A and B are shown apart, each in its own frame.
Chain A
Amino acid sequence: MEKIIITVVGKDTTGIIARVCTYLAEQSVNILDISQTIVQGYFNMMMIADIARAPKSFMQMATELETVGQGMGVQVKCQREEIFEKMHRI
């Protein structure tokens, strides 16, 4: 398993999750967990996904997801899960 964290931050509109999930399905990326919250009127979503079976590289998908986000006026960011594990778990 190769876990990544995808975060989406921006103004809430319809179809944000749908578009991100569609892209991930096309890349054979399995979503393990989704959660969302509204902070100061801003939509915050986090997904934990497994990219082990994706044909494209992490960097390529990160760039493409950023473009998907730009199309909806939100910021989409991909990061490796290990960094959060290291930072928040002993």
Chain B
Amino acid sequence: MININEVLETNKMVEEETLDVRTITMGINLLDCADSDLARCCDKIRRKISEKAQCLVQTGDDISHEIGIPIVNKRVSITPISLVGGACCRSTADYVQIARTLDDVAKQVNVNFMGGYSAIVSKGMSASDELLIRSIPEAMASTERLCSSVNVGSTKTGINMDAVRLMGEIIRQSAEATKEQGSRGCAKLVVLCNAPDDNPFMAGAFHGVSETDAVINVGVSGPGVVHHVLRGIRGASFEVLCETIKRTAFKITRVGQYVAQEASRRLGVPFGIIDLSLAPTPAIGDSVADILREIGLEHPGAPGTTAALALLNDQVKKGGVMASSYVGGLSGAFIPVSEDQGMIDAVEAGALSIEKLEAMTCVCSVGLDMIAIPGDTPASTISGIIADEAAIGMVNQKTTAVRVIPVIGHGVGETVQFGGLLGYAPIMPVNRFGCEAFVNRGGRIPAPIHSFKN
């Protein structure tokens, strides 16, 4: 039988160490909403999402109250819209209409974000894909809760450099379109390589075509809990360090696994995966950077950071895999700058640069995430940053992403506020040397040799 110390340990994790389940994300297939008439397509989308997700928020809140552990976000991911809107969208304005419909439904079912205003163009762009991509700046500016992602490469296909070049321009246009709000449109837009079909985390969540009609995916978190246990073993060897992280990750993930199974049972929707991620928030004590400091770095960015992050990421996976029957999504440590107070401090102290963050993305789950850059950064430079990240993902057979925010009208040393979960960020310097001739070559980078495994 459960003993009092175990109960107190769990409750302390929640009350003092910010343990929570970060998100329950319901994936919904919208392929059957495609129609040659735009109004009918929007109508079908509205009906399907509101029918499937109407009880999602209430169910999440009920489970949270019954187990005494917060479930912070309830979200919806949908089939990439370029696949749904292809039959009825003839202009970017048509796509924006779908975007507004999605934003309205998100508000109606009360989820705080909806992901899937997306296109998968890792090898080539269809006319529909390109139209959707070109509509992103206006779609992000005219919606509040909708997130957009574009997958520009994969280990199997190589990197679509035409899409990479286009996304540099689209990010700049999104920044311009929302310049009054700190270029916030870019905070809801991510460019991916090897995007997973079942990611529950925003902004890159979408419901892939390999998925069933509706599915429940859960993202767990708990950097505060890991940080706290590591405080108790200062100076211990790597063996003890790794073992401690692993045991903690196991416990955190078990919470997620239980929540996922309960949500799946109550909603009558199959359970998909648990995403084992250490996802920070701007709240004090909920920081991946604090863990890195506790491991022994003065600030994230110091020599040793990549190794520390690599071991952290690996132990989280090892502990988590044991705790869940299905693991998927991104699964690893997130290192967004604006959403982690410790990362912001590291940037302000001059310890952390974009180049070091790029190195860190080689060994953790995502990529250059929530990084504010100067508003005058050229589109070709942004494309260059995307190409570098995509290359890391392609060669290492992992997911990588770029979510940078060129803050229009502002430069290095200034700070930009995104509000709420998105936090705030100091604007970081970008290498000023050009890569225009490289980006403008056109075509695609072939798949790497080790992708030929047949």
Contacts and interface: CB of A to CB of B under 8 A. Distances in A.
A5 B2 contact: yes
Given A84-B6, A86-B258, A88-B6, A7 B66 contact: no
13 contacts: A7-B7, A35-B3, A35-B4, A46-B7, A59-B66, A77-B11, A79-B68, A81-B2, A86-B254, A86-B255, A87-B6, A87-B254, A88-B251
A80 B66 contact: yes
Q: Please report whether the interface of chain A is mostly helix, strand, loop or mixed according to DSSP.
A: strand
Given A79-B68, A81-B2, 17 more contacts: A5-B2, A35-B4, A44-B8, A45-B4, A46-B4, A46-B7, A48-B1, A79-B66, A80-B66, A83-B69, A84-B2, A87-B251, A87-B254, A87-B258, A88-B2, A88-B9, A90-B322
What bracket does the count of chain B residues touching chain A fall in? 20 to 34
Contact of A36 (B4, B66, B68, B254): B4
A46 B67 CA distance: 15
Contacts of A48: 1-2
B323 to A, nearest CB: 9
Interface of B: 1-11, 62, 65-69, 251, 254-255, 257-258, 322
A83 B65 contact: no
Smallest CB-CB A-B distances: 9 pairs:
A79-B68, A83-B67, A46-B4, A86-B258, A88-B6, A84-B2, A35-B4, A86-B254, A87-B254
B58 to A, nearest CB: 12
A18 B453 CA distance: 69
B68 A77 contact: yes
Interface of A: 5, 7, 32-33, 35-37, 39, 44-46, 48, 58-59, 62, 77-88, 90
Contacts of A77: 11, 68
A39 B62 CA distance: 30
B73 to A, nearest CB: 19
Contacts of B4: 35-37, 44-46
Q: Which of the listed residues A37, A39, A80, A83 has the most CB atoms from chain B within 10 Å of its own CB? A: A83
